[in-house]
């Protein structure tokens, strides 16, 4: 089972790197934002998987929840920041 | 002035999520000994909830809830708590922040007193970090004028 | 519990994979938003449900049950938060005049379409 | 009343997160929940009084949630087929459609908008004066709007009876 979880987290890392392509080369600013957001979703799952692999789920779960909150607030703030002269 | 968002979705969801985020920040401060986190991290999460409030309800409403005066009081209160926890140890004849001697004035044995001293330090750090982060954010987004911005 | 968890995690990861592929292939911003905002949400919810079930596999104690509840709490948080972020970014893009990619050039149409139009 | 309700909800969250049940941590939990209740009770509940109808709303919402999850899975498979297909550009026909809604309350507008967003193939772009602007990925998903989902959301929050 541990090997399965490890494989899943490696696969997710590959997906995160693929999403990073849009974050770097995205034609518009908004593409970059959702690229970063997509990397964030994969990182969230990887954090919990790491908790299972290191047998410290109760510890990593707090970090994952914090990561989810930061991702949420970051997305909203970036969306608001890149929309000039407007109210979100 | 950062206006209240006219967008129903963001306003409603933020209204529902802000209390949960604030409670999570307090949880991180209170459980700093047994799980990752502590004063600084918890203070940052509390500040994040206020940033969310600025997005959802606007700067004016946020300032009515968490006024400039309250902000100043909080940012010095945290340092006050931190410093006096240290000074109490000094006054009781030990080193700065050597909590175990606090058992002389607290109804607890030295191990429990060390625990409580650590907790009060974390509360002080958390309060200061929250207040300073919020005022930093407001100053940054408005260019220091607290008027136009973002 | 473990086989169910494996199946759920595999399906969730597959949804995330298809979301990433769509994210790379779709032609413009709005269509990319479709694939990354949605498939990732369903993928995360399925994966976290699978992990919560797997966590209960080591023996049902109060502590492990609470940890599973916490994992489900993250899933619910994501379920409420992710559409909001998607909406905020799409709205910001629309307001800052990013043109949607369409086949016939008419980006905004009334719905349901008029009778003459469908003929 | 809303103070009590907020406190109970927050304390349930605290118990799930904390997982330590000695007097010290529980008293910290009571203090923290008290602080958060005092600062943000008006955020969580806007209305002041509660009636028995609102319990019914919660149960209906949970029922609706399962139906929505089923729809999400169906629509996800549809979008997955599009995004993995080699002839992707022929299959999609994206456009922004605009339709009038009959929902009025804030909470039902938000629930409907978030349901539209969670169902793949459609994103709510703007809500303006009773009009929804929805970006749809192809014609098939656009034809389902507003449709059954709006009726169900209106049924949860009792739009027709002003409950």
- In the 8-state DSSP scheme, what is residue D85? S
The pLDDT of residue C115: 43
Cross-chain CB nearest to A88 (options B5, B17, B45) = B5
Task: Report in angstroms the alpha-carbon separations of C21 from C24, C39, D110, D155, D157.
Answer: 5, 10, 30, 37, 38
Examine residue B1 and state whether it is found in any structural domain, yes or no.
no
- In the 8-state DSSP scheme, what is residue A44? H
pLDDT in tens, D12-31: 888 888 877 888 888 888 99
Mark whether D26 and D96 lie in a shared domain.
no
Mark whether D91 and D139 lie in a shared domain.
yes
Q: Where are the domains of chain A?
A: 2-82
Cβ contacts below 8 Å, chain A against chain C, sum to: 120
Residue A65 pLDDT more than 70?
A: yes
pLDDT in tens, D139-162: 777 776 667 777 788 777 766 654
Give DSSP secondary structure letters for chain C.
Answer: -HHHHHHHHHHHHHHHHHHHHHHHH-SSHHHHHHIIIIIHHHHHHHHHHHHHHHHGGG---HHHHHHHHHHHHHHHHHHHHHHHHHHHHHHHHHHTTPPPP-SSS--EEESSPPHHHH-
Task: Quote ipTM for the complex.
Answer: 0.85
For residue C69, the enclosing domain spans 2-118
For residue B129, the enclosing domain spans 8-142
Interface check D18 vs B, CB under 8 A: yes
D20 against A48, higher pLDDT: A48
Total number of domains constituting chain B: 1
Q: Quick one: what percent of chain C has pLDDT higher than 90?
A: 4
For residue D15, the enclosing domain spans 2-44
Closest C-alpha among B141, C83, B50, D126 to residue A81: B141
Mark whether D64 and D99 lie in a shared domain.
yes
CB contact under 8 A, B10 and C77: no
- CA–chain centroid gap for B61, Å, is 19
Question: Can you give the C-alpha Rg of chain A in angstroms?
Answer: 15
Q: Which residue of B has its CA nearest to C70?
A: B24
Task: Report in angstroms the alpha-carbon separations of A30 from A75, A79, C95, C97.
Answer: 10, 8, 12, 12
Q: Average pLDDT of C4-11? A: 90
Total number of domains constituting chain C: 1
Residue with token string 């941590």 = D25
| Contact indicator for A23, A35 with CB cutoff of 8 Å | yes
Joined tokens for residue C6:
């494996």
pLDDT in tens, D64-97: 888 888 888 888 888 888 888 888 777 777 878 8
CB contact under 8 A, C98 and A30: yes
CB contact under 8 A, C80 and B10: no
Interface of B with A in 30-89 (CB under 8 A): 35-37, 41, 45, 48, 51-52, 55
pLDDT in tens, D122-141: 888 888 777 888 888 777 77
Buried b (16+ CB within 10 A) or exposed e, D17-53: bbbbeeeebeebbeebbeebbeebbebbbeeeeeeee
Count the neighbouring beta carbons within 10 Å of the beta carbon of residue D12.
Answer: 11
Buried b (16+ CB within 10 A) or exposed e, B78-94: beebbeebbebbeeeee
The pLDDT of residue D160: 60
Residue A86 pLDDT more than 60?
A: no
The pLDDT of residue A87: 47
Task: Name every residue whose Cβ is closer than 8 Å to that of residue A16 and which is 6 or more positions away in sequence.
Answer: A38, A39, A42, A43, A46
Interface of C with B in 48-77 (CB under 8 A): 77
The pLDDT of residue B80: 92
How far is the alpha carbon of C79 from chain B, nearest alpha carbon, in Å? Answer: 11
pLDDT in tens, D31-59: 988 988 888 777 777 666 666 667 888 88
Cross-chain CB nearest to C89 (options A30, A45, A61) = A30
The pLDDT of residue C102: 76
pLDDT in tens, C25-51: 888 888 888 888 788 888 888 999 998
Residue with token string 């959301």 = D153
The pLDDT of residue B59: 81
Task: Report in angstroms the alpha-carbon separations of C107 from C94, D29, D124.
Answer: 11, 52, 14
| Contact indicator for B124, B39 with CB cutoff of 8 Å | yes
Mark whether D13 and D64 lie in a shared domain.
no
Mark whether D8 and D72 lie in a shared domain.
no
Give DSSP secondary structure letters for D104-152.
Answer: -SHHHHHHHHHHHHHSTTEEEEEEETTEEEEEESSHHHHHTSSHHHHHH
Q: Average pLDDT of C12-29? A: 86
Mark whether D36 and D73 lie in a shared domain.
no
* Strands of the D122-128 sheet, one edge to the other: C108-110, D95-100, D131-136, D122-128
| Contact indicator for A70, C78 with CB cutoff of 8 Å | no
- In the 8-state DSSP scheme, what is residue D99? E
| Contact indicator for B41, B30 with CB cutoff of 8 Å | no
Mark whether D16 and D64 lie in a shared domain.
no
Q: Are strands D131-136 and D95-100 parallel, antiparallel or unpaired?
A: antiparallel
Interface check D14 vs B, CB under 8 A: yes
Residues on chain D bordering chain C, Cβ-to-Cβ distance under 8 angstroms: 13, 16-17, 19, 72-73, 75-76, 79-80, 82-84, 88-89, 92-99, 113-114, 117-121, 123-126, 133-135, 137, 142, 145
Total number of domains constituting chain D: 2
CB contact under 8 A, A63 and B55: no
Cα separation, A54 vs A58, whole angstroms: 11
| Contact indicator for C92, A79 with CB cutoff of 8 Å | yes
Closest C-alpha among C84, C118, C105, C89 to residue C30: C89
pLDDT in tens, C45-81: 899 999 888 888 877 788 888 888 888 888 888 888 8
Q: Quick one: what percent of chain A has pLDDT higher than 90?
A: 9
Q: Quick one: what percent of chain D has pLDDT higher than 90?
A: 0
The pLDDT of residue B2: 54
Closest C-alpha among B31, A62, D16, A1 to residue C55: A1
The pLDDT of residue D47: 66
pLDDT in tens, C72-118: 888 888 888 888 888 888 888 888 777 777 777 666 676 666 544 44
Indicate the SS3 state at residue D77: helix
- Spell out the SS3 assignment of chain B: CCCCCCCHHHHHHHHHHHHHHHHHHHHHHHCCCCCCCCHHHHHHHHHHHHHHHHHHHCHHHHHHHCCHHHHHHHHHHHHHHHHHHHHHHHHCCCCCCCHHHHHHCCCCCHHHHHHHHHHHHHHHHHHHHHHHHHHHHHHHHHCCCCCCCC
User: Which residue ranges in chain B fall short of pLDDT 70?
Assistant: 1-6, 146-150
Joined tokens for residue D162:
């002003």
Residue A44 pLDDT more than 80?
A: yes
């Amino acid at each position: 089972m541990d090997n399965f979880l490890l494989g899943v987290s490696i696969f997710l890392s590959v997906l995160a790197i693929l999403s990073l392509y849009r974050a770097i080369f995205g034609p518009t600013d908004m593409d970059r934002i959702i690229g970063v957001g997509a990397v964030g979703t994969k990182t969230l799952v990887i954090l919990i998987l790491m908790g299972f692999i290191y047998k410290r789920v109760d510890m990593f779960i707090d970090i994952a929840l914090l990561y989810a909150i930061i991702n949420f607030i970051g997305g909203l703030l970036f969306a608001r920041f890149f929309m000039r002269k407007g109210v979100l | 002035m950062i206006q209240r968002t006219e967008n129903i979705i963001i306003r409603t969801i933020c209204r529902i999520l802000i209390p949960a985020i604030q409670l999570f920040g307090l949880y991180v401060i209170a459980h700093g000994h047994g799980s990752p986190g502590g004063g600084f991290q918890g203070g940052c999460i509390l500040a994040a909830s206020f940033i969310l409030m600025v997005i959802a309800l606007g700067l004016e409403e946020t300032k009515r809830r968490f006024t400039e005066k309250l902000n100043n009081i909080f940012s010095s209160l945290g340092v006050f708590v931190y410093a006096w926890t240290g000074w109490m140890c000094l006054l009781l004849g030990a080193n700065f922040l050597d909590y175990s001697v606090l058992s002389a004035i607290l109804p607890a044995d030295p191990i429990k007193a060390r625990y409580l001293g650590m907790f009060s330090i974390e509360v002080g750090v958390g309060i200061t970090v929250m207040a300073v982060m919020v005022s930093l954010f407001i100053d940054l987004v408005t260019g220091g004028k607290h008027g136009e911005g973002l | 519990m473990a086989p169910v968890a494996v199946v759920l995690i595999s399906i969730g990861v597959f949804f995330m994979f298809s979301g990433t592929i769509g994210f790379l292939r779709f032609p413009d911003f709005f269509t990319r938003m479709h694939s990354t905002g949605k498939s990732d949400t369903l993928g995360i919810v399925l994966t976290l449900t699978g992990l919560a079930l797997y966590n209960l596999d080591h023996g049902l104690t109060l502590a492990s049950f609470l940890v599973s509840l916490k994992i489900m709490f993250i899933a619910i948080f994501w379920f409420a938060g992710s559409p909001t972020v998607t909406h905020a970014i799409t709205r910001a893009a629309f307001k800052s005049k990013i043109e949607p990619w369409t086949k016939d050039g008419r980006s905004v149409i009334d719905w349901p379409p008029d009778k003459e139009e469908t003929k | 009343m809303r103070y009590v309700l907020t406190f109970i909800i927050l304390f349930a969250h605290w118990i799930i997160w904390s997982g330590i049940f000695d007097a010290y941590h529980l008293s910290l939990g009571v203090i923290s929940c008290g602080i958060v209740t005092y600062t943000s009770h008006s955020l969580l509940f806007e209305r002041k009084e509660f009636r028995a109808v609102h319990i019914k709303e919660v149960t209906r919402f949970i029922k609706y949630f399962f139906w929505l999850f089923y729809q999400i899975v169906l629509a996800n498979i549809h979008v997955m087929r599009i995004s993995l297909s080699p002839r992707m550009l022929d299959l999609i026909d994206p456009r922004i459609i605009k339709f009038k809604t009959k929902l009025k309350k804030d909470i039902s507008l938000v629930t409907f908008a978030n349901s539209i967003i969670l169902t793949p193939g459609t994103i709510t772009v703007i809500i303006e004066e009773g009009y929804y602007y929805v970006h749809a990925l192809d014609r098939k998903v656009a034809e389902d709007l507003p449709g059954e989902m709006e009726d169900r959301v209106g049924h949860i929050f009792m739009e027709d009876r002003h409950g």
